[in-house]
Amino acid sequence: MDNREEVREFLTSRRAKITPDQAGLPSGSRRRVPGLRRSEVAALADMSVEYYSKLERGTLAGVSPAVLEALARALRLDDAERAHLLNLARTADGSDALARPRRRAATRQWTPHRSLQWTLDAITAGPAFVRNGRMDILAANQLFRAFYADVYATPGNQLNLARFNFLDPASRRFYPDWDTFADVAVAILRTEAGRNPHDKDLHDLVGELCTRSDAFRTRWGAHNVRHHGTGTKHFHHHAVGDLSLAFEGLEMAAAPGLTLTIYTAEPGSPSEEGLRLLATWAATQEATSGAERLK
């Protein structure tokens, strides 16, 4: 797979983000480029300008791990960016399949083992779900389905959190800090594209979102990546109001490429009470739906 354009844009965007002051270099007054010059990155990585320029043109095939590490240090890459660079290098030299087992990307039609659904259903105090790197919702507990009721209510979302984020107006209400959620969603997809460059469903999703959303297209061009494992998020649910929830994302050893995420509220907080109200609301909605089906 020829990924030279992806490599070129990633390295150029990382170089542009570093100021001379951050790199311990004199800033001067006549700089023509944002961030560092190629010559400065080359010096920081202890390589020739010609060699670094070759790398930035997208030629990572055959580059040694030592050179990649030097480049990561010079560009001050964080853990997620460093992993992305290594993934791009594996793809460039065709060693991705040899370096590690090819992950089978879970599709939306993937069926969880019943024991996984039992595990999710046993989590009753907070929303819990399983997603893949494309942000498809693959399995969930009742509280998650109530929590993300807007996603389930709109068939066009196809149970995909990125589509919901960028194509469904309801996301602007559900995510009070919409820009942060948008940044995270794109970074997750960009990370997955580096990890799993042969995923046609991912390419199709990115193409759709780039076509239909200016906000997505701009963010996709920034080439930002991130690990998304823990933190706190703020939501506004139409039935119970504002919620501030902590989350933990756990990689599933039995299903590489899938993540189990659980949202919880601080004990004794208004958000904990909000989740209890949401559980009651969900049970009522389900009972009502069941009664309608029996008529």
Per-residue pLDDT averaged across 6-32, rounded?
87
Q: Which pLDDT tens digit goes with each residue over 167-181?
A: 999 999 999 999 999
pTM summary value: 0.85
- Of the pLDDT bands very low, low, confident and very high (cuts 50, 70, 90), residue 97 is very low
pLDDT for the residue numbered 256: 83
Quick one: fold of 4-99?
434 Repressor (Amino-terminal Domain) (1.10.260)
pLDDT for the residue numbered 109: 56
- Of the pLDDT bands very low, low, confident and very high (cuts 50, 70, 90), residue 114 is confident
Q: Which helix (H) or strand (E) holds 130?
A: strand 128-131
- Of the pLDDT bands very low, low, confident and very high (cuts 50, 70, 90), residue 3 is confident
DSSP letter string over 22-88? HHT----S---SSS--HHHHHHHTTS-HHHHHHHHTT--TT--HHHHHHHHHHTT--HHHHHHHHHH
Ordered strands of the 230-237 beta sheet: 137-140, 128-131, 259-264, 241-251, 230-237
pLDDT for the residue numbered 185: 97
- 244 phi and psi angles, rounded to 5 deg: -115, 110
pLDDT for the residue numbered 254: 80
Q: Where in 136-176 does DSSP place strands (E)?
A: 137-140
- Least confident stretch, 128-132, 146-150, 191-195, 258-262: 191-195
Residues 67, 71: Cα–Cα separation, whole Å = 6
Q: Which pLDDT tens digit goes with each residue over 249-279?
A: 999 888 888 999 999 999 999 999 999 999 9
CATH number of 114-294: 3.30.450.180
Q: Domain ranges in the chain?
A: 4-99, 114-294
pLDDT for the residue numbered 2: 67
pLDDT for the residue numbered 289: 64
pLDDT for the residue numbered 29: 63
DSSP 240: T
Answer whether 257's CB lies under 8 Å from 249's CB: no
Residue 88 has pLDDT above 80, yes or no: yes
